[in-house]
């Protein structure tokens, strides 16, 4: 990245992504009418996805091994420091309208004490994804995994609130997190001790320690496919369990 200052930078961490789905996400970001740079950080075993990086606003980095979600997003910290005003942590299966990022930036600019903002998230069938949540206990992770005690899960997802209105939340899931770049850099990004899962909860805790806030802003909506890998894959389940143990040892 050169020394040109840009409005918005973004990272997408890749691992054997479906090219069609990923291309839709890339196109969504590139449609944003701001100066921008998209960093594709590829943890895949091959660089087959490099063909999608043929655009002047994209920088592609093939890592050659799976270094994890947090470490891959952190790969750009030195590159964006002092070079972008806002930074987006973006999943490879998200789509949104061209004014989505500009609307979120307009709002976060008004909020001096807010480090991170995120929109309403829906599934492709337009059903609500409850991405604004309270900090989980270990018990909460278990009941969510077992899909029991719906009342408790709903409380954790703020379903008792008017979700059509903005409010400050405990944590926002990591499919689309828009930061003030200076704050993301000051946080040193994600804790790299988590290989996968819980990094999004952890970074929200780190924001709390700075005295700043996270804003759920449902006036803007994005679409997220949501793979839910840990509920379908035993290896990913153990990654999730390992991260949960690390999280609770750190914060309790």
Q: pTM of the predicted model, to two decimals?
A: 0.93
Give residue-wise pLDDT tens across range 234-251.
Answer: 677 777 888 888 988 899
Mean pLDDT to the nearest integer, 187-193: 96
Range of the domain at 218: 6-251
Band of pLDDT at residue 231, cut at 50, 70 and 90:
very low
pLDDT digits (tens, 9 = 90+) for 68-102: 999 999 999 999 999 999 999 999 999 999 999 99
The more confidently predicted of residues 235 and 110 is 110
Domain assignment present for residue 38? The answer is: yes
For the cut 50, the answer to whether the pLDDT of residue 230 exceeds it is no
For residue 119, being part of any structural domain is answered with yes
CA 70 vs CA 157, 159, 221: distances in Å: 24, 29, 25
Do the domain assignments include residue 1?
A: no
Q: At what angle do helices 234-251 and 199-209 cross, to 10 degrees?
A: 20
Position 11 in a domain: yes
Quickly tell me which residue has 């994600």 as its tokens.
190
Write down the pLDDT at residue 125. Answer: 96
The answer as to whether 221 is a domain residue is yes
Please, which residues have CB within 8 angstroms of residue 19's CB and are 6 or more apart in sequence? 49, 52
Tally of structural domains, the chain: 1
Say if 189 falls within a structural domain.
yes
What pLDDT score does 33 carry?
A: 97
Residue 118 belongs to some domain of the structure: yes
In a domain, 47, yes or no: yes
Q: What CATH code is carried by the domain that includes residue 239?
A: 3.90.550.10
């Amino acid at each position: 990245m050169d020394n040109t200052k840009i409005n918005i930078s973004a990272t997408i961490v890749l691992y054997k992504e479906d090219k069609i789905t990923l291309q839709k996400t890339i196109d969504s970001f590139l449609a944003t009418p701001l100066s921008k740079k998209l960093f594709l950080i590829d943890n895949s075993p091959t660089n087959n996805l490099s063909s999608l990086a043929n655009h002047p606003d994209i920088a592609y980095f093939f890592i050659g091994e799976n270094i994890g979600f947090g470490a891959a997003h952190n790969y750009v910290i030195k590159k964006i420091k002092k070079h972008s005003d806002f930074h987006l942590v973006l999943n490879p299966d998200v789509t949104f309208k061209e004014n989505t990022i500009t609307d979120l930036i307009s709002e976060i600019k008004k909020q001096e004490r807010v480090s991170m903002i995120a929109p309403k998230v829906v599934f492709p069938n337009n059903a609500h994804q409850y991405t604004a949540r309270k900090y989980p206990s270990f018990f909460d992770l278990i009941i969510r995994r077992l899909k029991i005690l719906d009342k408790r899960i709903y409380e954790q997802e703020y379903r008792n609130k008017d979700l059509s209105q903005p409010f400050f939340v405990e944590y926002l899931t990591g499919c689309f997190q828009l930061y003030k770049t200076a704050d993301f850099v000051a946080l040193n990004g994600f804790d790299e001790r988590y290989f996968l899962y819980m990094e999004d909860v952890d970074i929200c805790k780190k924001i709390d320690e700075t005295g700043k806030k996270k804003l759920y802003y449902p006036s803007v909506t994005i679409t997220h496919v949501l793979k839910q890998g840990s509920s379908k894959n035993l290896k990913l389940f153990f990654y999730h369990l390992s991260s949960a143990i690390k999280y609770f040892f750190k914060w309790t």
